Copies of this chain bind each other. A is one copy, B any other.
Amino acid sequence: MSEAKSESKSVNLTKRAVYELRQRIIHGGLAGGTRLYEVALSEELQISRTPVREAMSRLAEEGLLERASGGGFQVRSFSYRDVTDAIELRGVLEGTAARLAAEQGADKTALAEIGAILDELDDCFAGEAGESLDFDRYSELNGQFHAKLAELCQSNVILRELERVKSLPFASPSAFVLGSQQTRRSLQSLVVAQAQHRALVQAIERREGVRAEAIAREHARIARANLEQTFITETQAPDSLPGIALITR
């Protein structure tokens, strides 16, 4: 137990390298477009080339790296348009999952669990004044909601692709909850978001597939609006958004 450092579990070197690299990519140590050199990295991480290579390979599967022409890897870089599209794509996939769940009829137990999460989300708004929202808790529960929702359609294929899109840090459902903590507008957008959560679940319960799909898409567009807001207000913000270092061009 004592060896569980914050960074490096001693499980195996590949996982350590994956973790290390992912941290650096998301938090800006390695900007979008940067090429990764095996030897340099292995010296820096004190790990031999083989597990480093393996780690890069896994991060490519994850979508954070891409294979460079002529071998090797580079940090994947995203244009503003790419980020927008990724959010739209998440909406499309969540919409599809919701529609399928509605069409097939969703499992009652799972729906009840989702309802419980929604109640807890409501509790986050407890303080009536504008300021007293528990952002961390909201973010956590929001993530759970979206995960459970995706499972409702019971489709491995859809779930898998959705996980893939969500693994892009800025396309995750909770990306902007933490990103824009300060503003009053962001609190209002959370109120709207929660209303959409309720409507979405209702649509699925009533087997209104088209409605469910439309709501899910619109729900994702809140993230898009928040993205625009983030880029307008604090142009050079450091950690206003996870993975902001990947966005270039």
Contacts and interface: CB of A to CB of B under 8 A. Distances in A.
Interface in A165-184: 165
Give the copy number. Answer: 2
A52 interface: no
Interface residues of A, number: 24
A85 B158 contact: yes
18 contacts: A57-B57, A57-B61, A60-B61, A61-B61, A81-B155, A82-B155, A82-B156, A85-B155, A85-B157, A86-B157, A88-B96, A88-B100, A89-B96, A89-B158, A92-B92, A92-B93, A161-B161, A161-B165
Contacts of A155: 81-82, 85
A60, A79, A81, A85: residue with the most chain B Cβ atoms closer than 10 Å: A85
A49 to B, nearest CB: 11
Nearest to A12: B71
Contacts of A53: 54
A167 B155 CA distance: 18
Interface in A64-123: 79, 81-82, 85-86, 88-89, 92-93, 96, 100
A54, A61, A79: residue with the most chain B Cβ atoms closer than 10 Å: A61
Nearest to A156: B82
Contacts of A89: 96, 157-158, 161
A211 to B, nearest CB: 15
Interface string A44-63: 00000000011001101100
A96 B89 CA distance: 8
Q: Which 3 residue pairs are nearest across A and B when measured between Cβ atoms?
A: A85-B157, A57-B57, A85-B155
A108 to B, nearest CB: 21
Interface string A134-161: 0000000000000000000001111001
A227 B164 CA distance: 27
Contacts of A57: 54, 57-58, 61
Nearest to A14: B71
